[in-house]
């Protein structure tokens, strides 16, 4: 049986960014004591101005990456629509003023 990974499914949107957490576990005999620290993937996101961190299993990373990308695509699309709405409204109002 396959473990289900978080954020799977094509329509999921996530606003945030993937980061790598680094830490030393504190065991004096561990390789991290004088070498490279332990790393784990995590999702950094903010809600109401507060930054939160969700540590991830490495199996979750591809789906999270996909969902982050889905958000970027959707946000770019929305921005494009908002700009064209602004352009249309500006033209409409300028024309109306000209006729007045």
Q: What is the contact surface with Zn ion in residues (CB under 5 A)? A: 25, 30, 32
Looking at beta carbons only, is 22 or 87 nearer to Zn ion?
22
Of 12 and 32, the one with the shorter C-beta distance to Zn ion is 32
- Measured distance CA(76)–CA(33) in Å, rounded: 44
Q: Phi-psi category of 26—alpha, beta or left, where left has phi over 0 and alpha has psi -120 to 50?
A: left
Q: How far is the CB of 20 from Zn ion (least distance, A)?
A: 15
Query: In b/e form, how buried is each residue of 39-69, taking b as 16+ CB within 10 angstroms?
Result: eebbbeeeeeeeeeeeebeeebbebbebbbe
User: Residue 81's CB: how many other CB atoms inside 10 A?
Assistant: 10
> Smallest distance from the beta carbon of 32 to Zn ion, in angstroms?
3
CB of 50 to Zn ion, least distance (A): 29
Beta carbon nearer to Zn ion, 15 or 23:
23
Q: Which is nearer to Zn ion, 26 or 49 (CB)?
A: 26
Q: How far is the CB of 58 from Zn ion (least distance, A)?
A: 17
């Amino acid at each position: 049986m396959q473990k289900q990974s978080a954020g799977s499914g094509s329509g999921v949107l996530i606003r945030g960014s993937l980061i790598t957490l680094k830490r030393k576990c504190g065991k004096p005999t561990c390789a991290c004591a004088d070498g490279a620290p332990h790393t784990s993937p995590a999702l950094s996101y903010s809600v109401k101005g507060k930054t939160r961190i969700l540590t991830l299993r490495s199996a979750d990373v591809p789906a999270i990456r996909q969902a982050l990308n889905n958000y970027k695509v959707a946000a770019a699309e929305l921005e494009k629509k908002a700009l064209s709405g602004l352009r249309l409204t500006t033209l409409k109002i300028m024309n109306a003023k000209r006729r007045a």
